[in-house]
Each structure stands twice: as structure tokens, then as C-alpha cells.
Amino acid sequence: LAGLSLYFEDGHDDMDDFGFDDYGSECDGIRITAFLDAGQDNLTPLGRLEKYAFSENVFNRQIVARGLLDVLREFSDNENDFISVMETVARMSEDGEPTVRAELMEQVPNIAMFLHESRPNFPAAFSRYLVPIVVRYLTDPNNQVRKTSQAALLVLLEQGLISKADMETKVCPVLLDLTEPSSDDDYKIEAVAIMCKVVTMLNKDTVEHLLLPRFCDLCSDARLFQVRKVCAANFGEFCSIVGQEATEKLLMPKFFDLCSDSLWGIRKACAECFMMVSNSTSPEVRRTKLSPLFISLISDQSRWVRQAAFQSLGRFISTFANPSSTGLYFREDGALLEVLIYIFCFSHFSNCSLNSLNCSDTSVCHTDRTIAHTPPNQDGRATPSPEHVSTADSEDIHGFDDNHTLSVEVHDVFTHTISNGSSGSATTTNNAKNTEETEHTDENFNSFHYWRSPLPDISGELEMLSSQTSAPEDNCPDSKSSHSKATSDQIQMVLDRLQPHMDDPDVQAQVQVLSAALKAAQLDSPADNSPTEPLSELQPENDTEILTCSLTPVFISMGIDSSLIITLLLCLQNVIPQQLLDQYLSMTDPARAQTVDTEIAKHCAFSLPGVALTLGRQNWHCLKDTYETLATDVQWKVRRTLAFSIHELAVILGDQLTAADLVPIFNGFLKDLDEVRIGVLKHLYDFLKLLHADKRREYLYQLQEFMVTDNSRNWRFRYELAEQLILIIELYSHYDVYDYLRQIALTLCSDKVSEVRWISYKLVVEILQKLYACGADELGLNFINELTVRFCHCPKWVGRQAFAFICQAVVEEDCMPMEQFSQHLLPSLLSLSSDPVANVRVLVAKALRQSVMEKVYFKEPGCAYSDELEETVMALQSDKDRDVRFFATLDPNKGLMDTAPLI
């Protein structure tokens, strides 16, 4: 006890000298650098710093470490003093007390930023004094100090405060030493983690030459599974940094090993980073190597691995997307835009005869996409057309990038589809050279189907279809539509013939392909903008040419006409491996929710737009049923996810498919729960602008339904409606705006919530601007009279205040000619200058002083209202309310003042 008493007495003496008496450990609220002030010791400030920095009292040293930034500010004006302080810091970094070292390291990022921004005179100080401390603390024996050093290092890297030379000569060597096979386990695990975080902040050369070889070794660390797990979790970052060549040459073998690791946690980490790895590989490697690897993860024995794989499946599929085949790309701001693509011409192939179908005649047309504008509305303003979409009857099959694989897959499909008993031998013969490859592609494939029931004979229908499509076309404008109609009728006849045999799985596959062909034929409308050059002038695409050549004998043996052949080709997708697509489509299976993840349907819905973009609209038939299943899922979270993205899907599919397949689902969402309706409401304008004018106009009758919500307190729903209506105004004629949107706007202006009311006042101003911009002055005058009665003469002061706000907005937005404003709105506005409520007079003063009187019209000599305006403003300048006087005298050139607190 005597020793303990002596310790506290000594400590108290030091604290008296320090200037922190009675503060204890909670001294954050005082000036930490108080110890630098002159005291009884007659020491210089640097001497006092030296004394307390190496005091025997630990608390004193902690305080100095905590106040280093302020200390540097005190001495940074003199270079010699500054260097002395940095020398002191360097010696303090060797303090034996871990808490002192941790305190010092916490200040390093702040000190580095101070030196970088305020003291460029000392460019080498940070590199010379502080970087070595950070690096040394990475190997500190105390865990807290190491963690603090790691966090400080990441902050310094994020802020770009460590030079490339320091990273290569000081930081990376330490990380490499700590990850040596002989290194301590704890240090090694921490160093691997920090290395994986550091890699994202370094350039490619540094990573590839210094860290990549060691990372590859660490991926194979057989002793520490924690090391392999960290490597797996950060594998994608390394791939994205080093690029395709190094990824495929060095990292891919390691990734295969990690994906088959004995620990499920490592395999799960691989599944989670699969998309980033895929993005760093070539299409060939992605298709031939990564796809089978992912299939193994998605069927892993561990449920957690399967769950992670299914969650990553949609993202992995999206890496197969190619703008040249989808015709769409994402801008930097996230907007989905259309690019000029090669368009596959149905019409030209429809004119080909079966005898002329060969490699030289099979072509695609090279046509630049032109954006068709919708004719002007009744008000003379052009209605925005679906500018970011393209028609579904002209598509690209540029995605056929793996010809050999495609031939095998098509062989697997068509050996048992659209055929009769006599066609199997021809098909098999044609593809005999692919037998070996087919077996390697699918080990479970078996062509032994002799026990199958005979398929119905549809040769008659196919012959009718062939004769119809090979007949010469008339020169009348309706010839193309007549041809499409005939093709559709013949395909429908084939489908009808197959219906009684739907128990046969092969017939089901046949019906699926023919149904897609029927849809494609129906979409082949005369509105197609495809050019009509002769086929001989068009250049063939190699992939399509090879594909058609390989399949022609198969289709000929089936008796299928050339025009139907092309239609069927378009119904096949070879953008992604079919196994991946099948697994994705299975995510709606209820059994998956039981064996994999209860949220699996939500993950499927979340990634569906990306999958649809990857496949392209020509392959929408692959996803249509899945989308409809998700849209009727019992979980509202699934439907909500689709509702929030349906506008993006509409851009991907184009106007025709949107009208046929998305509009019914969109209508269902409009009547769903509020949690689902908010999804379509937030992007209502984005969806409606993609529809044709006639279809868009149908929704005018349904906009009123958004006023009704499950919970009347859900005011944000009504606020969102007002915001969307402001955008939607441009999509409709002024007559429709006046007849439909005006009533909704006025109703919202009477909402109980002020936020809804004020956004609705802006909506009112937009409607008024629309009416006058379209020359509908009479409708505009009617609306003004209605606003005057509703707001200017409102018995509640909030309504009269709103009238002043609307008048100011009308003037600032130039919604109407100032002559008409002075006749129809200004007198009512001036009448409110004597309103008994000060908050009303405040907005009147603001509107007059900042907006109305600044208009040239009211400054011109002879203006009938100039004298009255001056008198009114002068009266407001003498108002008894201080705020009214302030806004009445405020100089407009000083900028508009925010009056929100007064509302």
C-alpha cells in the first residue's frame, strides 16, 4: 500500500506540472497542448514537449501522443522546430507502453493530411518519419497497435498520401515478409488481409510484379485455411487489377483449386466473387471453363455454397452480355441506352426459297438503328417515343460466338424436336462428327430412345408452310403482313396438332420452340424499319453463316421451309450456356426455396433485368414464363423487386414486347400492395414514356387510383405521385392534362401533410405552364380562376400563403405572358399584402420584391401596375412584422432567401 500511495503521489506531481490536475482520463474537452505554455520550469516549448513526451507517467505520454496534430501546428512555421518535433515523434514511436503507440498511430492519418494540405514545404517529412512508423507497427507484438496501424495504412492509401515509391520499397516488402511460409500464423493471416485490401489501391504493375506471385502461393497454403479463405474472398479484386492475361495464366488454376477446397466457407467465398473473376476472362474461358466450374458450385453438397452460388448466378450470367448483340449499354451515370447494331432481317429471309438457302445466301443486313419519333400530339408538342428501345421484329444474333458448341447444343435439341420417326437418322448422320464432343459436353446425354411413342406426323402442315412461304409475293403494301399472317397460321396448326401428345417430354420441347417461333412471326409487322436491299448486297455474318450451314441438313430432313428455319434459329439462344440458364430458371421452383434459400425467388427477381439484357430481346421467350411466375409470387418482396425494375426491363425488351408481356404485369402491380405499387410509382414516368401514345393514354384513367393507399398516413406515397406527375405532364396533350391531371393536382394541394402540399403547388405551376405553352389560353384562364377561388380566397392562411408561392413560381418560370399575369393574378396577389397573418405577407413581400418587380415588363415606363407595386412594397417595408420588413427590403441581387421556416 505504501508503494501504491507513493506512485499516485508522484503521478499527481507530474500532472500538476502538466497542467491537467483533476481532469483524470477525460480531458478531451480541454486544450491538449496546454503543457506547452510557460510554467514554473523555465523551459522552452520544445523543452516542455521533450519533458512530457518521455515522462515516467504513462498518462502524460498518452496526452502528448493524442495532441501531436496540435503540437505540429504550433511548430510548423519554423522548419528547424518542425524537424525537432518529428524527431521527437519518431522516438515516441518506440514507447514501451502499447496504449501510447496506439494513440500515436491514430493521429498519423490526420497529421499526414495536415502536411499534405497545409505544409507543402515539408514534402519529405511524412515519408521520412511517419511511413516507417506505420510499417513498423504492422509487426508490433500488441494486437491493438497492429490493428490501428492497418487501419491507418488503409486511410493513407485511400487518400493517396503514400507515394508509389514508399509502397514498393517500404510497405510491400513488409507484407511479403509477413506472408512468408515461416511467418507467425497470426501475423500471416493479418498480413494477407491487409494485402488484399491494399491491392485495390495500387496500380497494375505494382500488384503484378510484387504481390501477385505471393498471392498465388498463399491461395495454396495447405496449413492455414484462414489464409485460403481470405484469398478466396478477395480473389476478384486481384483479377480485376492484374487483367485478363495474368488472370487466365496465373490465377485461374488457383481459383479452380479454391472452388474445390475441402472447406465449404472457402467454396462459398469463391461463389460470391465469381462475377468479378468472370469479368477478367475472355469469352471463351468464361464459357468453356468458368461455366462448368460454376455449375459444380451451384450443385455443391453444402447448402451455404449453393445459396451463395444461386445469389451470384444472375451476376455471373450478366458477364456474358455483349453490347454488339444486346444493342444496349450502360452509360457512366447508370442510364441504359441503345447502340447502333447489326439487325437480323426476318423479311429478307422470308423471301428466300429452300433451294437457295446456302452459306453464300444466308446473310444479315448491316443497318444502322434509327430512332423513330412519334408524331406530335394535339398540342403540337412531340410525344417522346420509346427512343431507347428497338422493335422486336429485327434482332441481332451476334451472340453466336462459339460455333462448335452451338452446333452440339442445337443437335441435342433438334434431334428430338420438330421431327418424325424418319428424320432421326439424317440428323444423326449430319452430326456424327460431333459425337465425341457431345459426349464430353454432357455425360448424361443418351440418344437411345427406341422405346419412345411415335411422334405425330406434321409433314403435311410443314409442307403447307413451305409452299406458303416460298410463293412469290405480291407488290401490294400488305404482302409482308399477309406473309407473316400465313406463317403464324401454319405454325399454330402445327402446335394444335401436337397438343394431344404433350405427355411426351420431347413433344413439350418441340412445342416450346414452335411457340417461340410463333411469337417471333407475330411480331414481324409491316412497321419494321429494316431496309429492303436485295440479299446479294448484304454481307453475311460468319457465326450465322456457319450456324445455318450446320443446321440446314437437319431442317431440310424435317421438311421445314427456309423462312421458318431462320425463325427457329432466332428462337435458340447461345448467349450463355444452356445449363446456366436452366439453373437460373429453376430458381422459381418451390423446391429450391426448401433446399437452398427461402429468399431465392427474390434473388432471381433482382437479377432478372441483367439476365434479360444479356440474352437480348430475341431470347425473351426463355425468360417470359419465369417473369410471369415471379410477378405472381406469394411473397410481396419478390413482386416489389420486379416492380422497381420493370421500367428497365421495358427498355431492354422494346415497345412491342413491353406492350404484349409487360403491360399486363404492370397493370397487376398497380393494384397490388402499397409496398409493390411504390415500385412502379417511383418510375411511372420512365415506364409510360416507353409506351405508344394510345396505350399510354389508357393510364390517365388509373392515375387517380394512386390517391388511395392502404395506410392514409403513408404521405410519402402521395409525395412521390406529385413528383411523377410533374414529369408525366410532357407525355400528354394539354387537353388530357387539364381534364385528368389538374384534378389530381388540386386534390394533392389540399393534403394534410405540408410536404405533399408544397410539391403539389409546383405541380400546379407546371400544369399552368403546359397550358400556356400549348396556346390553350382559355383553359389556362379557367385554371387561374380556379386557383384564385381555391387559394387566394381560402379561409385558411396556408391556402393564401400557397397562392403567393404559386404567383412567384409562375413569374420565375415564365409560365405565362406578364401582361396576362398582371391582369389575372397580380391584383389578387396585391390584395394579400394586407393579410392579417404575417406568414402570408412574408411570401407576398418575397414574391413582389424578388420576382415580380425584377421583370422587365414591370420596369418599363408606362406600366399600369408599376405605381401600385411600389406603393405595396413600401407598405410592406413598414410592416409591423420584422420578417415581412426584411423580405420587402432585401436586395434581389443577394440571392433568394429560404423561407421554409416560415411555411
Are 218 and 304 within one domain? yes
Q: What is the CB-side half-sphere exposure of residue 684 using CA atoms within 13 A? A: 27
Which long-range CB contacts under 8 A does 184-187 form with residues at least 24 apart? 185/224, 187/139
Residue 27 has pLDDT above 90, yes or no: no
Are 138 and 214 within one domain? no
Only one residue has cell 417595408, namely: 877
Q: Which residues face 363 on adjacent strands?
A: none
Q: Which of 83-97, 408-422, 534-548, 745-759 has the lowest mean pLDDT?
A: 408-422
What pLDDT is stored for residue 80 in this prediction?
Answer: 80
In a domain? residue 419: no
Query: Greater confidence, 263 or 523?
Result: 263
Only one residue has cell 458477364, namely: 319
Residue 413 has pLDDT above 90, yes or no: no
In a domain? residue 542: no
Q: Which residues face 329 on adjacent strands?
A: 337
CATH number of the domain encompassing residue 298:
1.25.10.10
Q: How far apart, in whole angstroms, are the C-alpha atoms of residue 325 and residue 320?
A: 10
Query: Greater confidence, 817 or 535?
Result: 817
What pLDDT is stored for residue 646 in this prediction?
Answer: 95
Are 204 and 271 within one domain? yes
Residue 729 has pLDDT above 80, yes or no: yes
Q: How far apart, in whole angstroms, are the C-alpha atoms of residue 190 and residue 169?
A: 20
What pLDDT is stored for residue 504 in this prediction?
Answer: 66
Highest mean pLDDT out of 62-71, 137-146, 522-531: 137-146
Query: Greater confidence, 465 or 561?
Result: 561
Q: How far apart, in whole angstroms, are the C-alpha atoms of residue 331 and residue 335?
A: 5
Query: Greater confidence, 51 or 648?
Result: 648
What pLDDT is stored for residue 329 in this prediction?
Answer: 61
pLDDT digits (tens, 9 = 90+) for 323-368: 766 666 656 555 666 653 322 322 233 333 323 333 333 333 333 3
Are 127 and 201 within one domain? no
Query: Greater confidence, 555 or 104?
Result: 104
Rg (CA), the chain: 37
Phi, psi of 832 (to 5 degrees): -80, -5
Q: Which residues face 365 on adjacent strands?
A: 343
Only one residue has cell 450443385, namely: 299
In a domain? residue 450: no
Asked if 773 and 814 count as a contact pair (C-beta separation under 8 A), the reply is: no
In a domain? residue 451: no
What pLDDT is stored for residue 360 in this prediction?
Answer: 32
What pLDDT is stored for residue 705 in this prediction?
Answer: 87
pLDDT digits (tens, 9 = 90+) for 132-164: 888 888 888 888 888 888 888 888 888 888 888
Cell of 217: 502461393
What pLDDT is stored for residue 637 in this prediction?
Answer: 95
What pLDDT is stored for residue 270 in this prediction?
Answer: 94
Residue 195 has pLDDT above 50, yes or no: yes
The share of the chain scoring above pLDDT 90, in percent, equals 37
Residue 727 has pLDDT above 70, yes or no: yes
Straight-line distance from the first to the last Cα atom of the chain, in angstroms, rounded to the nearest whole number? 68
> Mean per-residue pLDDT for 46-72?
79
Are 244 and 325 within one domain? yes
Residue 52 has pLDDT above 90, yes or no: no
Other beta carbons less than 10 A from residue 611's beta carbon:
29
The domain boundary, picked from 308, 341, 374, lies at 341
Query: Greater confidence, 112 or 792?
Result: 792
Residue type, position 13, single letter: D
In a domain? residue 892: yes
Element (H, E) at 285: helix 283-285
Are 228 and 284 within one domain? yes
How far apart, in Å, are the Cα atoms of 535 and each of 356, 364, 646? 11, 9, 38
Residue 892 has pLDDT above 70, yes or no: yes
CATH number of the domain encompassing residue 153:
1.25.40
In a domain? residue 533: no
What pLDDT is stored for residue 375 in this prediction?
Answer: 35
Are 230 and 326 within one domain? yes
Q: Which of 293-297, 334-338, 551-555, 737-741 has the lowest mean pLDDT?
A: 551-555
pLDDT digits (tens, 9 = 90+) for 670-714: 999 999 999 999 999 999 999 999 899 999 988 988 888 888 888
Mean of per-residue pLDDT scores for the chain:
75
In a domain? residue 593: yes
Are 190 and 337 within one domain? yes
Res. 106 pLDDT band, cuts 50 70 90: confident
- Percent of the chain as helix, strand, coil, to the nearest 5: 70, 0, 30
What pLDDT is stored for residue 117 in this prediction?
Answer: 74
Closest Cα partner for 552 from 540, 564, 541?
564
Q: How far apart, in whole angstroms, are the C-alpha atoms of residue 371 and residue 381?
A: 17
What pLDDT is stored for residue 69 in this prediction?
Answer: 81
pLDDT digits (tens, 9 = 90+) for 432-484: 444 443 434 344 433 333 343 444 555 554 455 444 444 444 444 444 455 55
Can you say whether the dihedral through the CA atoms of 444, 450, 452, 456 is positive or negative? positive
What pLDDT is stored for residue 9 in this prediction?
Answer: 35
Q: Which of 186-195, 438-447, 588-597 has the lowest mean pLDDT?
A: 438-447
> Mean per-residue pLDDT for 216-235?
89
376: left (phi over 0), alpha (psi -120 to 50) or beta: beta
Q: How far apart, in whole angstroms, are the C-alpha atoms of residue 27 and residue 454?
A: 91
Other beta carbons less than 10 A from residue 43's beta carbon:
14
User: By three-state DSSP, how is residue 328 classified?
Assistant: strand
pTM beyond 0.75, yes or no: no
Q: How far apart, in whole angstroms, are the C-alpha atoms of residue 380 and residue 382?
A: 6
Phi, psi of 343 (to 5 degrees): -105, 135
Are 186 and 326 within one domain? yes
Are 223 and 157 within one domain? no
Phi, psi of 376 (to 5 degrees): -60, 155
Query: Greater confidence, 218 or 483?
Result: 218
Res. 4 pLDDT band, cuts 50 70 90: very low
Only one residue has cell 464459357, namely: 287
* Domain span including residue 312: 165-341
Are 172 and 158 within one domain? no
Quote the number of domains for the chain: 4
What pLDDT is stored for residue 828 in this prediction?
Answer: 93
Residue 789 has pLDDT above 90, yes or no: yes
The domain boundary, picked from 691, 706, 728, lies at 691
The domain boundary, picked from 660, 691, 722, lies at 691
Residue type, position 287, single letter: R
Are 152 and 268 within one domain? no
In a domain? residue 595: yes
